[in-house]
Every structure is written in structure tokens, then in C-alpha cells.
């Protein structure tokens, strides 16, 4: 119902600004690379490559030292297919072009004709596709049919993200509502598709939904309290400039919810499976015993998952942390900056939701599975199962009538 009500029907159009990712790009190939003196480059006034056309790059050309490279690039797609242009590669650039290399070029129609195209990146489509193929093969070989269903669920998750969550936010819908609806849809599809329609899966779904609700409430409260705007870098600034109606702090909260979903699924499914297996091993165990045993397993899970989440966010923000280290800033100063504060709130809110999901899901699973105890915990005919090592006398049961019984009656 949420998908139907909020379905955007596509992202709203806009005029390209030519800034960052919002520019026209084409595929191209480096056809020729020759070396020449940087002094000759400075004398001819040739422009440097597009990805370093900054004041720093210009000063490098003006140093009149070192060996530069002159690359000839052929445009392979678009209306100017077959057109060639040249660019200068400076010796101190991190990206060096070589002959035969496939690159991505940006196109700016309003620029002079000889400056309309510039190299912006390397074409990495083949190695990325190969890596994705290796990943899919590994999942299928190990997971068999479950692996195939997991890949299908992953594809559907990307479709929901691409065709619902992102366009709906761009259309101006509340990012929190969109994130909750989209994350719930992804969760329902992924869990039921991978684990089947069962009470076990439904318990995991319910535990995940409750944890997502807690994450949403905590995230909303602390993002507002800490005055986090969500507009902290060039990309978010460009989004705000193109679509001023988007609530950037709400977009930050939506990212927290969606980012926590994947780890939540893992925790809730694992806890539910643990409780079910404990019940299978000992059908006579009540819900309290199941909960205590399951929560002991959950404590180990909490320790590993929280550490994983913190390290994942720290790894993503490692360049930023290095900058603070270089500046010799104190811990308080670093934590107070909005860039780091966003990551702290994201990590802690997600971790609280993960921690809460363990007792919540374990309790739900214990209650549901123990409700079936009268049917599974007794042998057919109503007799109680005899514990291992016990005798009939100790359990209060009488021996079945037989030859030994008749002999005792004769003796009496």
C-alpha cells in the first residue's frame, strides 16, 4: 500500500549543470601517447587533462620541469563519435594515461570547440562486471538454490531502490516515510524469498520492523537535537542546489535506516533460527528457557556485529579522519564537526537498533515456537517423553502388563 501511494513515476527532469556527476559523459579510448618536455607544453599553452584543471594543476605546468605526456583521445559514443582531441598529462598526476586505455570523457557544449571534451575518469565497467560475476558464481556454488534466490532478492532490492526510493525522494516525498516503506518492501521480499513463507521467517520480519521503527525514532530525535543538516559535501550541496525542496536532514535519516537494514536482517534471522533449533533439540523447553539460551547466543552476535558496523563506518570515513589527524585536532573537536558527527549518530543509532533487535526477536521467537509445545513436546497418546537416564519408576509411569507383571501377582 505504501508503494502504491508513494510511487513517484520517475525522477523529475532538470537542466544539467555540468558540475560533478551532473554532466554529460561519453566513452572514449586513448589512441596515442607521446612524451614531451613540460617547458614546451607551457610555451604552446596546451591545457592539462580535465580531471586536474585546477590552480594546482596549472602551477605544475608553469614549473617548466619534468616530462609531460600528450594523449590523443578518440570519442567512441554520442553524436561526435570518432572525433579526437588531445590533452596534456602532467608528471605529478595520480592518473597516468596509456595507449589503448578506455576512459570516460565529459562533454560541455557551451565551451569552445577544442575544450568541449575532457577526460574525467577511467572506464572500469569490465573489471567491475567480472568481479560481480565471480561474486554471483561463488554465491550459487556455495548456496545452491538459496544462493540463486538471494541473488534474485538482491536484484529486486536494487530495483526498489532505483525505481521507488530515489525518485520518490527527488519528487519531494518525506524521506523518512519513503525509507521506511522502501526498506520494509525490500525486507519482505528478501526474507520471504530466501527463507520461505513460515512462522520462523515471519518472526524475523516482525523483529526487523520493530528494530527499524526504533532506529527511525532515535535517528529523527538525535539528528534534530544535534542540528545535523545532512549537507556536508559537494554531492549533497549539488543535490540541494538542484532540488531545494528535498529535506537533507531527512535524507540523512533515510540513509541511516536503509544502511541498518542489511545488518538487521542478519541478526533477526540468525536469532530466530537459533531459537527454532534449540526447540528442535529439546521440545520440552519452555519459552523462558528458550529465551535465556537464545539471548546467550545473541550476546556473542551483538559483540561482533556492533564492532563490524563501527569499523565499516570508520573505514568509509578514513580519509576524513586522516585529515583531522594531520591537523592534530582533539577528540572533542573532531567529534563536534558535522562531518564526523553524522557518522557518529549514524553508527550509534544503528548499533542501538541492532542491540535491541536481539532480545526483541529472541523473545518473539521463543513465544511463537513454545506455543507449539503441547503438540511437539508429548509423544503420541499423551504420555510424557522419558528423560535420558531416567527409569519408569522415577517418572511415575507403570510397566506395561506382561509376563513379569503376572509373575509378581502369582507370588503375592
* Tens digit of each residue's pLDDT (9 = 90 or more) over 368-402: 888 765 544 443 333 344 444 444 444 444 444 44
Is the pLDDT reported for residue 285 higher than 90?
Answer: no
pLDDT score of 137: 95
Is the pLDDT reported for residue 128 higher than 80?
Answer: yes
Average model confidence (pLDDT) for the chain? Answer: 77
**How much is the average pLDDT of 174-199?**
86
Is the pLDDT reported for residue 48 higher than 60?
Answer: no
**How much is the average pLDDT of 143-164?**
89
pLDDT bracket for residue 123 (50, 70, 90): confident
Read out DSSP for 31-100?
A: EEEEEEEHHHHHHHT--B-GGG-SHHHHHHHHT--SEEEEEEEEE-SSTTTT-EEEEEE-TT-SS---TT
CB 268 within 8 Å of CB 361 = yes
CB 311 within 8 Å of CB 334 = no
pLDDT score of 61: 40
pLDDT score of 18: 59
Is the pLDDT reported for residue 149 higher than 80?
Answer: yes
CB-based burial of residue 143 (10 Å sphere; 0-12 exposed, 13-18 middle, 19+ buried)?
Answer: middle
Is the pLDDT reported for residue 411 higher than 60?
Answer: no
According to DSSP, the β-strands at 117-122 and 24-37 are unpaired
pLDDT score of 372: 65
pLDDT score of 299: 86
Cell numbers for 395: 517418572
Say which residue, 175 or 360, is predicted with more confidence. 360
The CA-based dihedral angle spanning residues 275, 213, 230, 228, taken in that order and rounded to the nearest 10 degrees: -100
> Residues 305-355: pLDDT tens digits?
777 767 777 777 777 777 777 766 676 777 777 777 888 888 888 888 888
**How much is the average pLDDT of 248-268?**
83
pLDDT bracket for residue 44 (50, 70, 90): low
pLDDT score of 136: 93
Report for 30-34, 228-232, 305-309: range of highest mean pLDDT: 30-34
Say which residue, 18 or 27, is predicted with more confidence. 27
Is the pLDDT reported for residue 199 higher than 90?
Answer: no
Is the pLDDT reported for residue 191 higher than 60?
Answer: yes
Is the pLDDT reported for residue 57 higher than 50?
Answer: no
Least confident of 181-185, 298-302, 308-312, 355-359: 308-312
Is the pLDDT reported for residue 41 higher than 60?
Answer: yes
Percent of the chain whose pLDDT exceeds 70 = 79
Report for 112-116, 125-129, 375-379: range of highest mean pLDDT: 125-129
Say which residue, 96 or 364, is predicted with more confidence. 364
> Residues 70-85: pLDDT tens digits?
888 898 888 888 888 8
Percent of the chain whose pLDDT exceeds 90 = 8
Is the pLDDT reported for residue 93 higher than 80?
Answer: no
Is the pLDDT reported for residue 167 higher than 80?
Answer: yes
How far apart CA 228 and CA 305 sit, in angstroms, is 26
pLDDT score of 360: 92
Tell me the H-state helices in 161-247: 166-170, 175-195, 199-225, 234-242
How far apart CA 59 and CA 53 sit, in angstroms, is 10
Is the pLDDT reported for residue 405 higher than 80?
Answer: no
How far apart CA 346 and CA 354 sit, in angstroms, is 12
pLDDT bracket for residue 43 (50, 70, 90): low
Amino acid at each position: 500500500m505504501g508503494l502504491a501511494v508513494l510511487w513517484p513515476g520517475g525522477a523529475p527532469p532538470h537542466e544539467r549543470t555540468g558540475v560533478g556527476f551532473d554532466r554529460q559523459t561519453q566513452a572514449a579510448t586513448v589512441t596515442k601517447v607521446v612524451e614531451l618536455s613540460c617547458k614546451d607544453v607551457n610555451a604552446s599553452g596546451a591545457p592539462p587533462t580535465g580531471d586536474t584543471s585546477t590552480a594546482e594543476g596549472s602551477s605544475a605546468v608553469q614549473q617548466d620541469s619534468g616530462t609531460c605526456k600528450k594523449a590523443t583521445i578518440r570519442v567512441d559514443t554520442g553524436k561526435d563519435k570518432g572525433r579526437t582531441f588531445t590533452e596534456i598529462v602532467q608528471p605529478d598526476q595520480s592518473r597516468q594515461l596509456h595507449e589503448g586505455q578506455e576512459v570516460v570523457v565529459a562533454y560541455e557544449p557551451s565551451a569552445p570547440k577544442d575544450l568541449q571534451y575532457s577526460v574525467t575518469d577511467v572506464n572500469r565497467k569490465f573489471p567491475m562486471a567480472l568481479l560481480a560475476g565471480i561474486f554471483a558464481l561463488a554465491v550459487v556454488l556455495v548456496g545452491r538454490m538459496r544462493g540463486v534466490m538471494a541473488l534474485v532478492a538482491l536484484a529486486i532490492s536494487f530495483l526498489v531502490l532505483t525505481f521507488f526510493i530515489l525518485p520518490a525522494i527527488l519528487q519531494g516525498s518525506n524521506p523518512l516515510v519513503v525509507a521506511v516503506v522502501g526498506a520494509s518492501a525490500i525486507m519482505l521480499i528478501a526474507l520471504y524469498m530466501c527463507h520461505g513463507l513460515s512462522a520462523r521467517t515471519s518472526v524475523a520480519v516482525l523483529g526487523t520492523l520493530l528494530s527499524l521503527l526504533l532506529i527511525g525514532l532515535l535517528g529523527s530525535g538525535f539528528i534534530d537535537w544535534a542540528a545535523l543538516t545532512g549537507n556536508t559535501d559537494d554531492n549533497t550541496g549539488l543535490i540541494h542546489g538542484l532540488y531545494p525542496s528535498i529535506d537533507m536532514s531527512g535524507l540523512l535519516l533515510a540513509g541511516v535506516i536503509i544502511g541498518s537494514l542489511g545488518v538487521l536482517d542478519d541478526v533477526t534471522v540468525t536469532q530466530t533460527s537459533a531459537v527454532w533449533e534449540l526447540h528442535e533439540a529439546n521440545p520440552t523447553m519452555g519459552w523462558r528457557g528458550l529465551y535465556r539460551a537464545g539471548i546467550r547466543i545473541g550476546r556473542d552476535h551483538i559483540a561482533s556485529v556492533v564492532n563490524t558496523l563501527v569499523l565499516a563506518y570508520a573505514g568509509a570515513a578514513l580519509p576524513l579522519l586522516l585529515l583531522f589527524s594531520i591537523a592534530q585536532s582533539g577528540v572533542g573537536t573532531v567529534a563536534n564537526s558535522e562531518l564526523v558527527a553524522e557518522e557518529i549518530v549514524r553508527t550509534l543509532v544503528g548499533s542501538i537498533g541492532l542491540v535491541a533487535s536481539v532480545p526483541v526477536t529472541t523473545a518473539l521467537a521463543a513465544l511463537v515456537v513454545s506455543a507449539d509445545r503441547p503438540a511437539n513436546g508429548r509423544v503420541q497418546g499423551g504420555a510424557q517423553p522419558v528423560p535420558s537416564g531416567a527409569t519408569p519408576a522415577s517418572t511415575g509411569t507403570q510397566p506395561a502388563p506382561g509376563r513379569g507383571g503376572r509373575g509378581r501377582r502369582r507370588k503375592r
